[in-house]
Amino acid sequence: MNNNALHTVEVQIREQVCAYCESNNVPGFVAGVYHAGEQIVVAHGTANVATGAPMLEDTGFLFGSVTKVMTTTLVLQQVERGVLDLDTPVVKYLPEFALTIPGAADKVLVRHLISHTNGIDADLFFPDAKGRDALKIYVEGLASSCGSLFEPGEQVSYSNGGMIVAGRLLEVVTGIPFPELLEHDLYIPVGMQDSSTSAEQAILRSTAVGHFNDPETMAAKPTAMFTLPDTWGPAGGTPIGTIADLLAFGRTHLAGGVSPCGARVLSTESTALMQQVSFDMASPNVPPIGMGWVLYPFGDTTVLAMSGASPGGVSILCVVPEHDLVFTAYGNISGAIMLQDQILQRLLNEHLGVQTPTLITESDPDVDLTPYVGTYRSNQLRVDVSIVDGQLEERTTYEPADESQRRIFTEFAGGTASAPPQRYVPIRPGLFAPAGYPHEAFDGYLRLLLVSYHHVRDGQARFRNGGGRLTRRA
């Protein structure tokens, strides 16, 4: 892509964003593309419908789980400095780390925390604490509230808990609170000059808020909760910044760890290690995992990606090393992820010429559904699976441990604690697609909508994987 081609991309994205937002009730959207020395940023709509503030090119937003790649970068910095070792048990550095299953935490290595292979069952564990002891309180709470889904290194399950433990680990070995470490060791050398680590900092500049559709009027309403608690900082609860800042961070990983302003943030070897496969579930809905990055195969091209949900918003960061490209975007309502996926695929297919084969070509109505029927659980989440009209039907319910957990989760989810029943059609044994979707819908980032079942023994699957997250048969 030369400069003229990137200008054409800018015009196309602007038209695509405008059309999608108007027809799908997305209040505001901002996106950026870097390619081969040039970059563009496109902004559209409203950052906050309550105030009417416009979404600008430099409007800040919650990074959400894109932060996990930053936390991983910080961990590998400490590995390079000889402070941490990836193959050492976490408890050597963090003796207070424990789970409800005796001895389970002792098996978790540092590398398991940042490769989503730790098995910590804490995906919806929301201790409500603020300030410099927040991560300490989170880790203390694991010992009495959270168990283990599987043996470390045995499987992959997207892990908020692992990243938060990694954040606390960083605090203990450096003696610096995680927000300060993020700012000093990452924001400054990368050149993320408009990034912050709290709502108190973000309010001093233009910042978007998330929205939810009112169930009665379907009008977009601002979220009642701007950020998750401080306890979720390293997993993506509190860091905030701009498209330009995320492009700079993505470019740092494109350039072998050297930031656009010339600072060495990470070694070439560590940057490459993050991009190598740590674990592969060999299932279309669960892309191979690196360290921090999820490694999405688009044909023969690998896209390093991470998306980030925040209360009423969603961000995405994609790095394509083979084509020297970074794409990042934020929309201030959850449905914006569909637009992000469409822009990503258009960039790959039309502008980079990447040939993307169809991931799912046909379904198989003859698959035996009985091994998958049952109840699956993880931290405060229950999924009931039954057979209805020759399809699997899943009913997902959040079961809060206490009132504080209920309040935080329902505000994060826009006021609901359960999802409508969802039907699934069999693609092959162990793999299912949500009914009513065309097969091509799963070619891109939204392959995460597929559901897989694993470890069938004695006629029953032991695990269900939806959205990269495992639940275990009750």
Cα–Cα–Cα angle for 438, 441, 444, rounded to 5 degrees: 160
Which H, E and C letters describe 187-246, residue by residue? HHHHCCCCCECCHHHHCCCCECCCEEECCCCCCEEECCCCCCCHHHHHHCCCCEECHHHH
- Report the amino acid identity of residue 292: G
Nearest to 127 by CA among 436, 438, 404: 404
The residue-averaged pLDDT of 60-87 equals 98
Query: How far does CA 106 lie from the centroid of its chain?
Result: 26
Distance from C-alpha of 435 to C-alpha of 227, rounded to nearest angstrom? 33
- Residue whose C-alpha is closest to residue 139's, from 94, 174, 108, 177: 94
Please give the domain boundaries of the chain with CATH numbers for all domains. 1-357 (3.40.710.10), 370-473 (2.40.128)
Cβ-contact 84, 169 below 8 angstroms: yes
pLDDT above 90: percentage of residues in the chain: 93
Is the model's pLDDT at 66 over the cut of 70?
A: yes
**pLDDT of amino acid 2:** 55
Residue 149 confidence (pLDDT): 97
pLDDT 10s digits, 340-365? 999 999 999 999 999 888 999 888 99
pLDDT band with cut points at 50, 70 and 90 for residue 4: confident
DSSP strand E in 332-417: where? 374-378, 381-388, 391-398
User: How many residues belong to the chain?
Assistant: 474
CA 213 from chain centre, in angstroms, equals 22
Percentage of the chain modeled with pLDDT above 70: 99
pLDDT score of 217 more than 70: yes
Helices (H), 309-374: 336-346
Q: Is pLDDT of 20 > 70? A: yes
Q: Quickly state the pLDDT bin for 393 (edges 50, 70, 90).
A: very high
- Kindly state the tokens that stand for 16: 């695509």
Residue 216: pLDDT band with limits 50, 70, 90: confident
Mean pLDDT to the nearest integer, 435-453: 93
SS3 311: coil
Q: Which residues does the annotation mark as catalytic?
A: 65
pTM for the model = 0.97
Q: Note the Cα 391 to chain centre separation in Å.
A: 29
**Least confident among 78-82, 118-122, 178-182, 201-205:** 201-205
For 236-293, what is each residue's pLDDT tens digit?
A: 999 999 999 999 999 999 999 999 999 999 999 999 999 999 999 999 999 999 999 9
Report whether pLDDT(60) > 60: yes
The predicted structure's pLDDT at residue 3: 59
Question: Using one digit for the tens of pLDDT, what is the confidence trace for 178-211?
Answer: 999 999 999 999 999 999 999 999 999 999 999 9
* Average pLDDT of the residues in 410-430: 91
218 pLDDT band, cuts 50/70/90, is confident
pLDDT of residue 457: 95
Angstrom distance (rounded) from CA 3 to CA 8: 9
